Structure 1
Amino acid sequence: MLNTAFWKEKKVFVTGHTGFKGAWLSLWLEYMGAEVYGYALKPPTIPSLYEVCQVESRLASVTYNDIRNLDALCLAVQSAKPDIVIHMAAQPIVRKSYVNPRETYETNVLGTVHLFEAVRCSLAEGNSIKAVINVTTDKCYDNKEWDWAYRENDVLGGQDPYSNSKACSELLTTAYRASFFSGAKGLAVASVRAGNVIGGGDWAEDRLLPDCIAAIIKGESIQIRNPSSVRPWQHVLEPLGGYLHLAEKLVTGGETYAEAWNFGPDESEVYSVEQVVGMLCAKWGGEATYQTQLPADHLHEARMLRLDCSKAKLRLGWKPQWNISETLDKVVEWTQSWIKNENMVKSSIKQIKEYMGEKST
C-alpha cells in the first residue's frame, strides 16, 4: 500500500492536470496532503472531471498554458520549486494523430523536451527536484501483434503518429537522463507505460468507454468498430497508484529505479472490446445494447496489445487491485452518481479510499 505520510506537504508539479488521468491524480495527491502545482491547457472536454470535481480549488497553484511554451513552463516549474514532477500533458488520441500529426509530435515530443529543459533550468537556479516521471503509453512498443506481453526492454516503435511520438518521448527520457541527469545530486528520472485506462469522469473523444456511456445516456445502441481488439484494460487508479509507488522509490532509492516501467492488469485479465462492452451493458442494465460496425476510414489500430508488469510487481511491490468486473462496477457507480447530480468530489474520493483499502465514511 502507499505510504500516505510520504506525500504530506510534498510539492508535486503535474503537467496535464486538467485531463482525465491528471484530474484523478491531482485529487488523489491532494487527499494525501500533497501540494499540487498544475500546468496544462484548459480542460479538453465539456463536461470534464476537472470541473465536475472542482479540482482547481483544491490545488496550490495552477497555470493554464501550452506545454510547447518553454518560457511559461520554465517559470511555472521555478516558481513551484517542486520535490516531484509528473509529466502527463499530451495529445493522447491515436485517431486524432492521423488528422493532425504535426500537433501530435510537437506536443508529445517537443513538449517532453520542454519539460526536461524546465527541470534543467530549475536545477540551475538551485531548486531541488528529487524525481521526474514521464508518462508515455503502452503503445510505445513496436507492436508485432503477437499474443505474449511486452516487457520494458522490448523494441520501441509505433506505426501511427501518436504511438510513434510516445516512443520518441521514451527515447528522449533515456537521452536526457544519460546526458544531463545521471549523477545529478538527488535527482532520478523514470518513464511509465500504462495500459488502456477507464474510469468515471472520462469524456474524451474517440475512446471506448466514453463513447459507450454517451450512447447509453442518449438511449442509442453502442457502435463498436473493432470488436476483437484486445487491450490491457484497467481502472485509471491502477497506473496512477503505480506512478505514486514509483515516485516514492525514486525519492528514497534514487537512480536504482530510474528506468522504464509497465503498469497494467494481470495477464489473466485479457478481454476484447466486445467482451468489455458486453459486460458494461449488463452492469448498466435497462436497455443498454451494442452492435458492431466497420470503421469508415480504415485507419490502422493494433489488434493485440498486452503488458508484462512483473518488474513493477517484484521491485516496487505494486500490483493491480481491481479486475475488469470490479473496474466496470466503479465506472457505472461513478457515472450513475453523476447523472443523479450527487457530490462528485465525495464520490471520487470514496473510490480512491476504496482502492487504497481505507474505509469510506
Structure 2
Amino acid sequence: MTETRTALVTGAAGFIGYFTCLRLLKDGFRVIGIDSLSDYYDPELKRRRQQALLQHQSFSVVNEPIETPGLLADLFAKHTPDIVVHLAAQAGVRYSIDNPRSYLESNLVGTFELLEAARWNPPRHMLLASTSSAYGANTEMPYRETMKADHQMSFYAATKKATEAMAHSYAHLYDLPVTMFRFFTVYGPWGRPDMALFKFTKAMLNGEAIDVYNNGEMMRDFTYVDDLVEAVRRLIDAPPIRVDRPQDVDANDSLSPVAPWRIVNIGNSQPVQLGDMIAAIEEALGIKAERNLMPMQPGDVPATWADAELLQSLTGYVPRTDIREGVSRFVTWYRDYYRT
C-alpha cells in the first residue's frame, strides 16, 4: 500500500498556493491549508479558490493569520506534516513602502512561528518561498543562487531575505531540511490583481490607459504558474542533505556547508521585455493598449533573469512556457471569470 503523505501549505488560497494544493491533491497528498483571506486584494478571489479546493475530500483549511501565536505549533502537533510548503506572505514591492508593518508581522513573525513549530515536530522537508527581489541591486545576469545578495531595494525583499537567514539557522541548529525557492514574476489564471498582467488586461478591456513604469525599459523573467508548481513538486522529493565536509559542496550548488539548506531559482531563464508582454496581451485581447509612460517606482529593479541550472540538475526540469501562450491562457480565464 502506498503511504499517504500529509502536506501543510500556508497561503493555500493564494494564487500560487491554490495551484500547489491542486497538484498535491492530484498526487495523493492529504493537504492541510492555512490562509487568512486577507484583504490585500479582492478576498472574493481567494474565497473562490478555496471553495474549489474544498471540493476535495483530502483538503482541509484553517482561516487564520500564520503569525497567530501557537496556531502553527498546534497544527504541526495535530497533523505531523511530512512536507511543508510555506507560501503565506505579505507580497508586493510597492505596498511595502506604504505598510511595512504588515510585512514584519506576516513575513518575519509568521515564518518564525512556522520554524518554531517545525522545531518540535520536524517534517521530512520544508520548502519556503523567497523571491527574485532578494537579488536586489545585483546587475550581473542571469542571477545565480551562489551570488551574494546583500543589497535589497524594498522592505518586502528585505523581509524575504531575512526569512532565508532565519530558516538557515533553524536548519543548522535542528537539522531541518529546508529548500528556499526564489521565484521570478509568476503569472497565469487566477493570478493576483496587483500584478501587471492582471492590471493591464483589466484596464485595456475598460478602455483605459495602462501605466508603464521606467518608460517601458523593464525586463522580467515571467514564469507560468504551472511551471512553478511543477518545479516545487519535483523539489519536494529532493531535500537537501547535510554534508560532512564544506569542501564537498559543488561550486555551483547553493547547499550550505553547515546545514541541510539550499536556495533554488525557479524561473523561465528567458527574460522578456515589458513591451513584448504587453504585445502578447494586445494579441490575446485584440485591443491596442494606450500607454501612460511613467518613471521607475521606488524599490523596483529594471530587470530580472534566472539561471535555472541548479533546478535542472536537482530535478531534471526547467520551466518552458512561452509568454504568448501563458498570457493567452490568462486572458481566456479572465474573460470567463469576469464574463467580459
TM-score, normalised relative to structure 2: 0.86
Structure 1 position 245 matched with structure 2 position 237: no
Letter in 1 for 2:290: Y
Letter in 2 for 1:54: A
> CA contact under 8 A between 1:70 and 1:118: conserved in structure 2?
no
Structure 1 position 153 matched with structure 2 position 146: yes
The residue number in structure 1 matching 2:14 is: 19
The residue number in structure 2 matching 1:350 is: none
> CA contact under 8 A between 2:213 and 2:297: conserved in structure 1?
no
In structure 2, the CA distance between the partners of 1:231 and 1:25, relative to structure 1 (3 Å rule), is same
**1:333 deviation in Å?**
2.6
Letter in 1 for 2:285: W
The residue number in structure 2 matching 1:337 is: 336
Q: What secondary structure, in the 3-state scheme, does the structure 2 residue paired with 1:48 have? A: helix
Work out the CA distance in 1 between the residues paired with 2:217 and 2:47.
32
Letter in 1 for 2:144: R
The residue number in structure 1 matching 2:36 is: 41
Work out the CA distance in 1 between the residues paired with 2:116 and 2:76.
10
The residue number in structure 2 matching 1:261 is: 264
Work out the CA distance in 2 between the residues paired with 1:43 and 1:216.
27
The residue number in structure 1 matching 2:247 is: none
The residue number in structure 1 matching 2:167 is: 173
Q: Deviations over 1:81-108 (max 9, x none)?
A: 2110011110111001011112212221
Q: What secondary structure, in the 3-state scheme, does the structure 1 residue paired with 2:76 have? A: helix
Work out the CA distance in 2 between the residues paired with 1:203 and 1:93.
10
Structure 1 position 313 matched with structure 2 position 312: yes
Match of 2:27 among 26, 29, 32: 32
- Comparing 322-331 with 46-55, greater Cα deviation is found at 46-55
Work out the CA distance in 2 between the residues paired with 1:175 and 1:259.
12
The residue number in structure 2 matching 1:280 is: 281
Letter in 2 for 1:101: P
Ranges of 4+ aligned residues in structure 1 off by more than 4 Å: 253-257
Work out the CA distance in 2 between the residues paired with 1:178 and 1:88.
22
**1:288 deviation in Å?**
4.3
Alignment of 1:1-361 (within 5 A): 9-42=4-37, 44=39, 45-48=42-45, 50-52=47-49, 54-58=52-56, 59-123=58-122, 129-146=123-140, 148-157=141-150, 158-181=152-175, 187-205=176-194, 207-226=195-214, 227-250=216-239, 254-255=241-242, 258-266=261-269, 269-285=270-286, 287-294=287-294, 298-340=297-339
Alignment size in residue pairs: 318
Work out the CA distance in 2 between the residues paired with 1:89 and 1:13.
11
Letter in 2 for 1:19: G
Letter in 1 for 2:234: H
Letter in 2 for 1:96: Y
Identity of aligned residues (%): 22
Work out the CA distance in 2 between the residues paired with 1:145 and 1:292.
27
Q: Deviations over 1:300-326 (max 9, x none)?
A: 311122111111112221111312122
In structure 2, the CA distance between the partners of 1:47 and 1:224, relative to structure 1 (3 Å rule), is farther
> CA contact under 8 A between 2:119 and 2:170: conserved in structure 1?
no
In structure 2, the CA distance between the partners of 1:142 and 1:338, relative to structure 1 (3 Å rule), is closer
Q: Deviations over 1:22-44 (max 9, x none)?
A: 11111222222221101120254
Q: Provide structure 2 residue ranges, at least 5 long, that are not aligned to the other structure.
A: 244-254, 256-260
**1:173 deviation in Å?**
1.6
In structure 2, the CA distance between the partners of 1:208 and 1:298, relative to structure 1 (3 Å rule), is closer
Q: What secondary structure, in the 3-state scheme, does the structure 2 residue paired with 1:28 have? A: helix
Q: Deviations over 1:317-358 (max 9, x none)?
A: 1111312122112212322332459xxxxxxxxxxxxxxxxx
Work out the CA distance in 2 between the residues paired with 1:118 and 1:242.
25
TM-score, normalised relative to structure 1: 0.81
Q: Provide structure 1 residue ranges, at least 5 long, that are not aligned to the other structure.
A: 124-128, 182-186, 342-361
